Protein backbone atom coordinates (compact mmCIF):
# COMPACT_ATOMS: atom_id res chain seq x y z
CA UNK A 1 0.00 0.00 0.00
CA UNK A 2 1.33 3.43 -0.91
CA UNK A 3 2.15 5.74 1.97
CA UNK A 4 -0.25 8.62 2.62
CA UNK A 5 0.54 12.30 2.73
CA UNK A 6 0.28 13.83 6.23
CA UNK A 7 -2.87 15.83 5.41
CA UNK A 8 -4.49 12.71 3.96
CA UNK A 9 -3.65 10.79 7.13
CA UNK A 10 -5.18 13.54 9.25
CA UNK A 11 -8.31 13.45 7.11
CA UNK A 12 -8.66 9.69 7.50
CA UNK A 13 -8.18 10.00 11.27
CA UNK A 14 -10.91 12.64 11.38
CA UNK A 15 -13.25 10.39 9.38
CA UNK A 16 -12.51 7.47 11.69
CA UNK A 17 -13.28 9.67 14.69
CA UNK A 18 -16.56 10.80 13.16
CA UNK A 19 -17.62 7.23 12.41
CA UNK A 20 -16.67 6.08 15.91
CA UNK A 21 -18.66 8.90 17.46
CA UNK A 22 -21.60 8.17 15.22
CA UNK A 23 -21.50 4.53 16.17
CA UNK A 24 -21.80 5.54 19.80
CA UNK A 25 -24.78 7.72 18.93
CA UNK A 26 -26.50 4.94 16.98
CA UNK A 27 -25.90 2.04 19.32
CA UNK A 28 -25.38 3.67 22.72
CA UNK A 29 -28.93 4.86 23.33
CA UNK A 30 -32.09 3.05 24.16
CA UNK A 31 -34.40 5.42 22.35
CA UNK A 32 -34.51 8.45 24.64
CA UNK A 33 -31.99 11.27 24.90
CA UNK A 34 -28.51 9.77 24.83
CA UNK A 35 -27.02 9.32 28.26
CA UNK A 36 -24.58 12.16 28.93
CA UNK A 37 -22.54 13.00 31.98
CA UNK A 38 -22.68 16.50 33.45
CA UNK A 39 -19.48 17.40 31.60
CA UNK A 40 -20.77 15.90 28.37
CA UNK A 41 -24.01 17.84 28.76
CA UNK A 42 -22.01 21.03 29.11
CA UNK A 43 -20.05 20.11 25.99
CA UNK A 44 -23.28 19.40 24.16
CA UNK A 45 -24.56 22.90 24.84
CA UNK A 46 -21.63 24.15 22.80
CA UNK A 47 -21.77 21.44 20.15
CA UNK A 48 -18.77 19.75 21.81
CA UNK A 49 -20.26 16.26 21.74
CA UNK A 50 -21.38 16.52 18.15
CA UNK A 51 -23.99 14.05 16.97
CA UNK A 52 -23.73 12.23 20.28
CA UNK A 53 -25.68 15.07 21.88
CA UNK A 54 -28.79 14.49 19.77
CA UNK A 55 -31.79 12.53 21.01
CA UNK A 56 -32.90 9.42 19.20
CA UNK A 57 -35.15 9.23 17.33
CA UNK A 58 -34.37 12.76 16.24
CA UNK A 59 -37.20 15.03 15.09
CA UNK A 60 -36.05 17.22 12.20
CA UNK A 61 -38.13 20.22 11.16
CA UNK A 62 -38.45 19.81 7.39
CA UNK A 63 -37.72 23.22 5.86
CA UNK A 64 -38.62 24.51 9.31
CA UNK A 65 -42.21 23.98 10.41
CA UNK A 66 -43.42 23.99 6.82
CA UNK A 67 -46.77 22.49 7.77
CA UNK A 68 -47.64 25.82 9.35
CA UNK A 69 -45.57 28.52 7.64
CA UNK A 70 -44.18 29.06 4.12
CA UNK A 71 -41.09 26.87 3.89
CA UNK A 72 -37.51 28.06 4.14
CA UNK A 73 -38.29 31.31 5.89
CA UNK A 74 -36.97 32.51 9.22
CA UNK A 75 -40.58 32.34 10.40
CA UNK A 76 -40.76 28.65 9.55
CA UNK A 77 -37.36 27.93 11.12
CA UNK A 78 -38.25 29.86 14.26
CA UNK A 79 -41.55 28.04 14.72
CA UNK A 80 -39.81 24.66 14.36
CA UNK A 81 -37.48 25.61 17.21
CA UNK A 82 -40.33 26.94 19.31
CA UNK A 83 -42.13 23.63 18.86
CA UNK A 84 -39.05 21.79 20.09
CA UNK A 85 -37.55 20.33 16.92
CA UNK A 86 -34.15 18.78 17.65
CA UNK A 87 -32.78 19.94 14.28
CA UNK A 88 -34.07 22.45 11.74
CA UNK A 89 -33.52 21.81 8.06
CA UNK A 90 -32.55 25.43 7.60
CA UNK A 91 -31.39 25.73 4.04
CA UNK A 92 -31.91 24.02 0.73
CA UNK A 93 -28.94 25.90 -0.67
CA UNK A 94 -28.96 27.41 -4.16
CA UNK A 95 -26.77 30.22 -5.56
CA UNK A 96 -27.58 33.66 -6.86
CA UNK A 97 -26.09 35.13 -10.04
CA UNK A 98 -23.52 36.99 -7.93
CA UNK A 99 -22.50 33.88 -6.02
CA UNK A 100 -24.39 34.14 -2.72
CA UNK A 101 -26.10 31.11 -1.17
CA UNK A 102 -29.82 31.43 -0.44
CA UNK A 103 -32.41 29.07 1.01
CA UNK A 104 -35.05 27.83 -1.45
CA UNK A 105 -36.48 24.37 -2.02
CA UNK A 106 -35.50 24.59 -5.69
CA UNK A 107 -33.67 27.09 -7.90
CA UNK A 108 -37.03 27.68 -9.61
CA UNK A 109 -38.82 30.18 -7.35
CA UNK A 110 -42.14 30.77 -9.12
CA UNK A 111 -43.91 28.43 -6.68
CA UNK A 112 -42.32 29.69 -3.48
CA UNK A 113 -42.12 33.47 -3.95
CA UNK A 114 -44.21 36.33 -5.33
CA UNK A 115 -41.81 36.82 -8.27
CA UNK A 116 -44.69 36.45 -10.76
CA UNK A 117 -46.20 39.65 -9.32
CA UNK A 118 -43.04 41.64 -10.02
CA UNK A 119 -43.44 43.09 -13.52
CA UNK A 120 -39.81 44.15 -13.53
CA UNK A 121 -38.84 40.46 -13.62
CA UNK A 122 -41.29 39.27 -16.27
CA UNK A 123 -38.51 38.80 -18.82
CA UNK A 124 -36.55 36.56 -16.45
CA UNK A 125 -39.05 33.72 -16.90
CA UNK A 126 -37.37 30.88 -18.76
CA UNK A 127 -37.54 27.18 -19.52
CA UNK A 128 -34.46 25.23 -18.45
CA UNK A 129 -33.39 21.63 -18.21
CA UNK A 130 -33.13 20.97 -14.48
CA UNK A 131 -31.59 17.53 -13.99
CA UNK A 132 -33.06 16.42 -17.30
CA UNK A 133 -36.54 17.84 -16.69
CA UNK A 134 -37.86 20.83 -18.66
CA UNK A 135 -38.75 23.37 -15.98
CA UNK A 136 -40.36 26.74 -16.62
CA UNK A 137 -40.18 29.63 -14.20
CA UNK A 138 -37.77 32.00 -12.54
CA UNK A 139 -34.38 30.74 -11.33
CA UNK A 140 -32.20 32.04 -8.52
CA UNK A 141 -29.09 31.96 -10.68
CA UNK A 142 -30.65 34.65 -12.90
CA UNK A 143 -31.02 37.11 -9.99
CA UNK A 144 -28.61 39.02 -7.83
CA UNK A 145 -29.02 38.77 -4.09
CA UNK A 146 -30.27 42.36 -3.96
CA UNK A 147 -32.99 41.48 -6.49
CA UNK A 148 -34.04 38.34 -4.63
CA UNK A 149 -34.34 40.38 -1.43
CA UNK A 150 -37.18 42.36 -3.03
CA UNK A 151 -39.26 39.16 -3.22
CA UNK A 152 -41.35 37.58 -0.47
CA UNK A 153 -42.05 33.92 0.28
CA UNK A 154 -45.40 32.25 -0.37
CA UNK A 155 -46.91 28.84 0.45
CA UNK A 156 -45.73 26.14 -1.99
CA UNK A 157 -48.73 23.76 -1.74
CA UNK A 158 -51.77 25.96 -1.00
CA UNK A 159 -54.23 23.22 -2.01
CA UNK A 160 -53.06 21.14 0.96
CA UNK A 161 -52.23 24.05 3.25
CA UNK A 162 -54.64 26.92 2.59
CA UNK A 163 -54.10 28.18 6.16
CA UNK A 164 -50.43 28.85 5.32
CA UNK A 165 -51.39 31.39 2.67
CA UNK A 166 -52.25 33.74 5.53
CA UNK A 167 -48.51 34.25 5.91
CA UNK A 168 -47.71 34.89 2.25
CA UNK A 169 -45.53 37.96 1.89
CA UNK A 170 -44.35 38.13 5.50
CA UNK A 171 -40.78 36.87 5.02
CA UNK A 172 -37.97 37.42 2.56
CA UNK A 173 -35.57 34.81 1.21
CA UNK A 174 -32.84 34.15 3.80
CA UNK A 175 -29.20 33.70 2.91
CA UNK A 176 -27.10 30.88 4.32
CA UNK A 177 -25.05 33.40 6.26
CA UNK A 178 -28.21 34.86 7.79
CA UNK A 179 -29.22 31.34 8.84
CA UNK A 180 -25.87 30.78 10.55
CA UNK A 181 -26.21 34.13 12.33
CA UNK A 182 -29.76 33.17 13.36
CA UNK A 183 -28.41 29.84 14.64
CA UNK A 184 -25.89 31.67 16.84
CA UNK A 185 -28.52 34.05 18.15
CA UNK A 186 -30.98 31.27 18.98
CA UNK A 187 -28.27 29.19 20.65
CA UNK A 188 -27.45 32.11 22.94
CA UNK A 189 -31.09 32.91 23.70
CA UNK A 190 -32.09 29.33 24.42
CA UNK A 191 -28.98 28.29 26.32
CA UNK A 192 -28.59 25.13 24.24
CA UNK A 193 -27.07 24.34 20.89
CA UNK A 194 -29.33 24.78 17.88
CA UNK A 195 -28.66 22.33 15.04
CA UNK A 196 -29.27 22.86 11.33
CA UNK A 197 -29.33 20.44 8.39
CA UNK A 198 -28.68 22.24 5.05
CA UNK A 199 -28.98 20.49 1.69
CA UNK A 200 -26.88 21.18 -1.39
CA UNK A 201 -29.40 21.36 -4.23
CA UNK A 202 -28.58 20.19 -7.76
CA UNK A 203 -24.78 20.48 -7.39
CA UNK A 204 -23.98 19.11 -10.85
CA UNK A 205 -26.42 21.54 -12.49
CA UNK A 206 -24.83 24.51 -10.75
CA UNK A 207 -21.23 23.38 -11.25
CA UNK A 208 -21.79 23.33 -15.01
CA UNK A 209 -22.87 26.98 -14.73
CA UNK A 210 -19.72 28.01 -12.89
CA UNK A 211 -21.60 28.29 -9.58
CA UNK A 212 -20.15 25.31 -7.70
CA UNK A 213 -21.95 24.80 -4.41
CA UNK A 214 -19.47 22.73 -2.45
CA UNK A 215 -16.66 25.28 -2.35
CA UNK A 216 -19.10 28.09 -1.54
CA UNK A 217 -20.68 26.13 1.31
CA UNK A 218 -17.28 25.17 2.71
CA UNK A 219 -16.08 28.79 2.55
CA UNK A 220 -19.09 30.06 4.52
CA UNK A 221 -18.79 27.27 7.10
CA UNK A 222 -15.11 28.05 7.62
CA UNK A 223 -15.92 31.75 7.99
CA UNK A 224 -18.26 30.95 10.88
CA UNK A 225 -16.08 28.21 12.37
CA UNK A 226 -18.68 25.56 11.64
CA UNK A 227 -16.67 23.17 9.49
CA UNK A 228 -15.63 20.68 12.18
CA UNK A 229 -16.65 17.14 13.10
CA UNK A 230 -18.54 18.42 16.14
CA UNK A 231 -20.11 21.43 14.42
CA UNK A 232 -23.93 21.54 14.77
CA UNK A 233 -24.36 21.53 10.99
CA UNK A 234 -25.19 18.31 9.13
CA UNK A 235 -24.77 18.53 5.34
CA UNK A 236 -26.83 16.49 2.88
CA UNK A 237 -27.25 16.02 -0.86
CA UNK A 238 -28.95 13.68 -3.32
CA UNK A 239 -25.70 13.50 -5.28
CA UNK A 240 -23.14 11.12 -3.73
CA UNK A 241 -20.21 12.77 -5.54
CA UNK A 242 -21.18 16.09 -3.98
CA UNK A 243 -20.96 14.56 -0.51
CA UNK A 244 -17.62 13.00 -1.47
CA UNK A 245 -16.43 16.46 -2.47
CA UNK A 246 -17.66 17.93 0.82
CA UNK A 247 -15.82 15.19 2.69
CA UNK A 248 -12.56 16.61 1.33
CA UNK A 249 -13.48 20.22 2.14
CA UNK A 250 -14.99 20.08 5.64
CA UNK A 251 -15.26 17.71 8.60
CA UNK A 252 -19.00 18.14 9.21
CA UNK A 253 -21.32 15.14 9.54
CA UNK A 254 -22.43 14.19 6.02
CA UNK A 255 -25.56 12.44 4.74
CA UNK A 256 -26.41 11.01 1.31
CA UNK A 257 -30.07 11.45 0.39
CA UNK A 258 -31.74 8.56 -1.44
CA UNK A 259 -34.83 8.77 -3.62
CA UNK A 260 -36.96 5.94 -5.02
CA UNK A 261 -35.33 2.56 -5.63
CA UNK A 262 -35.47 2.81 -9.41
CA UNK A 263 -34.05 6.34 -9.62
CA UNK A 264 -30.47 7.33 -10.41
CA UNK A 265 -28.70 10.25 -8.75
CA UNK A 266 -28.24 12.97 -11.36
CA UNK A 267 -24.47 13.00 -10.96
CA UNK A 268 -24.53 9.29 -11.86
CA UNK A 269 -26.54 10.10 -14.99
CA UNK A 270 -24.03 12.79 -15.97
CA UNK A 271 -20.98 10.58 -15.39
CA UNK A 272 -22.44 7.40 -16.85
CA UNK A 273 -22.55 5.49 -13.57
CA UNK A 274 -25.28 2.89 -14.23
CA UNK A 275 -26.18 2.30 -10.58
CA UNK A 276 -29.59 3.13 -9.18
CA UNK A 277 -30.69 3.82 -5.62
CA UNK A 278 -31.51 0.11 -5.37
CA UNK A 279 -27.79 -0.58 -5.82
CA UNK A 280 -26.78 2.03 -3.24
CA UNK A 281 -28.97 0.49 -0.51
CA UNK A 282 -27.40 -2.94 -0.95
CA UNK A 283 -24.68 -3.84 1.58
CA UNK A 284 -21.87 -3.04 -0.87
CA UNK A 285 -23.40 0.35 -1.71
CA UNK A 286 -23.89 1.20 1.96
CA UNK A 287 -20.29 0.25 2.75
CA UNK A 288 -19.13 2.61 0.04
CA UNK A 289 -21.27 5.45 1.41
CA UNK A 290 -19.93 4.77 4.91
CA UNK A 291 -16.40 5.42 3.63
CA UNK A 292 -17.15 9.12 3.15
CA UNK A 293 -20.45 9.88 4.95
CA UNK A 294 -22.01 9.31 8.36
CA UNK A 295 -25.59 8.73 7.36
CA UNK A 296 -28.26 8.31 4.72
CA UNK A 297 -31.54 10.12 4.22
CA UNK A 298 -33.77 7.64 2.40
CA UNK A 299 -37.33 8.28 1.31
CA UNK A 300 -39.65 6.58 3.79
CA UNK A 301 -40.67 4.17 1.01
CA UNK A 302 -37.22 2.59 1.24
CA UNK A 303 -37.86 1.89 4.93
CA UNK A 304 -41.34 0.40 4.51
CA UNK A 305 -42.18 -0.24 0.85
CA UNK A 306 -45.76 0.27 -0.34
CA UNK A 307 -47.90 -1.87 -2.60
CA UNK A 308 -49.61 -0.70 -5.79
CA UNK A 309 -52.44 0.81 -3.73
CA UNK A 310 -49.99 2.79 -1.61
CA UNK A 311 -50.37 0.73 1.55
CA UNK A 312 -47.56 -0.59 3.76
CA UNK A 313 -45.91 -3.92 3.04
CA UNK A 314 -43.14 -5.60 5.03
CA UNK A 315 -40.30 -3.32 6.24
CA UNK A 316 -37.06 -3.65 4.30
CA UNK A 317 -33.72 -4.61 5.83
CA UNK A 318 -32.29 -1.13 5.13
CA UNK A 319 -32.21 0.03 8.75
CA UNK A 320 -30.29 -3.02 9.94
CA UNK A 321 -28.03 -3.02 6.90
CA UNK A 322 -27.14 0.67 7.34
CA UNK A 323 -26.56 0.34 11.07
CA UNK A 324 -24.31 -2.63 10.41
CA UNK A 325 -21.84 -0.37 8.58
CA UNK A 326 -22.20 2.51 11.07
CA UNK A 327 -24.61 4.74 9.15
CA UNK A 328 -27.53 6.57 10.73
CA UNK A 329 -30.85 6.89 8.92
CA UNK A 330 -32.93 10.07 8.79
CA UNK A 331 -35.74 9.26 6.33
CA UNK A 332 -38.07 11.85 4.78
CA UNK A 333 -40.83 13.13 4.94
CA UNK A 334 -43.65 12.82 7.45
CA UNK A 335 -46.71 15.02 6.86
CA UNK A 336 -50.07 15.05 8.63
CA UNK A 337 -52.33 15.62 5.64
CA UNK A 338 -54.29 12.77 4.04
CA UNK A 339 -52.68 12.83 0.55
CA UNK A 340 -49.25 12.16 2.08
CA UNK A 341 -50.37 9.12 4.14
CA UNK A 342 -51.02 5.51 3.08
CA UNK A 343 -54.73 5.11 2.22
CA UNK A 344 -55.38 2.92 5.27
CA UNK A 345 -54.44 5.82 7.55
CA UNK A 346 -56.46 8.60 5.89
CA UNK A 347 -59.54 10.14 7.48
CA UNK A 348 -62.25 11.80 5.43
CA UNK A 349 -61.60 13.03 1.91
CA UNK A 350 -60.36 16.61 2.29
CA UNK A 351 -56.88 17.24 0.90
CA UNK A 352 -55.92 19.28 3.96
CA UNK A 353 -57.54 17.02 6.58
CA UNK A 354 -55.25 15.19 9.00
CA UNK A 355 -55.16 11.40 9.00
CA UNK A 356 -53.95 8.89 11.61
CA UNK A 357 -50.37 10.06 11.36
CA UNK A 358 -49.45 8.82 14.85
CA UNK A 359 -49.89 5.22 13.72
CA UNK A 360 -47.66 5.92 10.73
CA UNK A 361 -44.93 7.40 12.96
CA UNK A 362 -45.18 4.33 15.20
CA UNK A 363 -44.64 2.01 12.24
CA UNK A 364 -41.54 3.90 11.13
CA UNK A 365 -40.09 4.27 14.63
CA UNK A 366 -40.47 0.51 15.20
CA UNK A 367 -38.05 -0.14 12.33
CA UNK A 368 -35.23 1.47 14.36
CA UNK A 369 -34.70 4.64 12.32
CA UNK A 370 -32.55 7.24 14.04
CA UNK A 371 -34.78 10.18 13.22
CA UNK A 372 -37.23 11.57 10.70
CA UNK A 373 -37.94 14.73 8.74
CA UNK A 374 -41.38 16.16 9.40
CA UNK A 375 -43.36 19.18 8.22
CA UNK A 376 -45.15 19.29 11.60
CA UNK A 377 -42.48 19.04 14.33
CA UNK A 378 -45.01 19.26 17.17
CA UNK A 379 -46.79 16.16 15.88
CA UNK A 380 -43.48 14.36 15.41
CA UNK A 381 -42.38 15.15 18.96
CA UNK A 382 -45.66 13.91 20.42
CA UNK A 383 -45.41 10.72 18.38
CA UNK A 384 -41.82 10.30 19.53
CA UNK A 385 -42.83 10.75 23.17
CA UNK A 386 -45.51 8.06 22.83
CA UNK A 387 -42.99 5.71 21.21
CA UNK A 388 -40.18 6.29 23.72
CA UNK A 389 -42.46 6.02 26.73
CA UNK A 390 -44.66 3.29 25.27
Phi-psi region of 388 (alpha: psi -120 to 50; beta: other; left: phi over 0): alpha
Supply the pLDDT for residue 51: 84
Give the end-to-end CA distance of the chain in Å, rounded to a whole number. Answer: 51
**What is the bridge-based pairing of β-strands 58-61 and 87-88?**
parallel
Q: Check if the beta carbon of residue 69 is closer than 8 Å to that of residue 41.
A: no
**Which residue from 32, 82, 36, 35 is spatially nearest to 61, judged by alpha carbons?**
82
**Which residue from 173, 175, 100, 94 is spatially nearest to 130, judged by alpha carbons?**
94
**Which residue from 248, 253, 345 is spatially nearest to 300, judged by alpha carbons?**
345
Supply the pLDDT for residue 53: 86
Enter the DSSP assignment of 385: H
* pLDDT digit string (tens) for the chain, length 390 residues: 343 333 444 444 444 444 433 433 333 333 333 333 232 333 333 344 788 889 999 999 999 999 999 999 999 999 999 999 999 999 899 999 999 999 999 999 999 999 999 999 999 999 999 999 999 999 999 999 999 999 999 999 999 999 999 999 999 999 999 999 999 999 999 999 999 999 999 999 999 999 999 999 999 999 999 999 999 999 999 999 999 999 999 999 999 999 999 999 999 999 999 999 999 999 999 999 999 999 999 999 999 999 999 999 999 999 999 999 999 999 999 999 999 999 999 999 898 999 999 999 999 999 999 999 999 999 999 999 999 998
Residue 256: strand, helix, or coil: strand
**Which residue from 88, 247, 272, 129 is spatially nearest to 256, judged by alpha carbons?**
247
Cis amide bond preceding 264, omega within 30: no
Q: What is the mean pLDDT of the chain?
A: 90
Q: What is the pTM of this model?
A: 0.88
Q: Check if the beta carbon of residue 384 is closer than 8 Å to that of residue 361.
A: yes
Strand partners of residue 135: 128
Contacts of 290 (CB under 8 A, 6+ apart): 19, 325, 326, 327
Residue 139: strand, helix, or coil: strand
Amino acid sequence: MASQEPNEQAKNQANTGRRALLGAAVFGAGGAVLGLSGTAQADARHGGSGLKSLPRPTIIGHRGASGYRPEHTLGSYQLALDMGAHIVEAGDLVPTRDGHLVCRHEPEIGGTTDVADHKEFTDRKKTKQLDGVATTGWFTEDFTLAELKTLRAIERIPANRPHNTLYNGHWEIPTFEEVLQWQDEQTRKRGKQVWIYPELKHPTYFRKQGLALEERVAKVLRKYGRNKWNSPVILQSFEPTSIQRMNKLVDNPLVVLLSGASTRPWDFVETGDPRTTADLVKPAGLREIASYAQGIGPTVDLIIPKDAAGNFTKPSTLVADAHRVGLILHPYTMRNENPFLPPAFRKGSDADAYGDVFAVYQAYFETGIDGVFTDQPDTGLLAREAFVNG
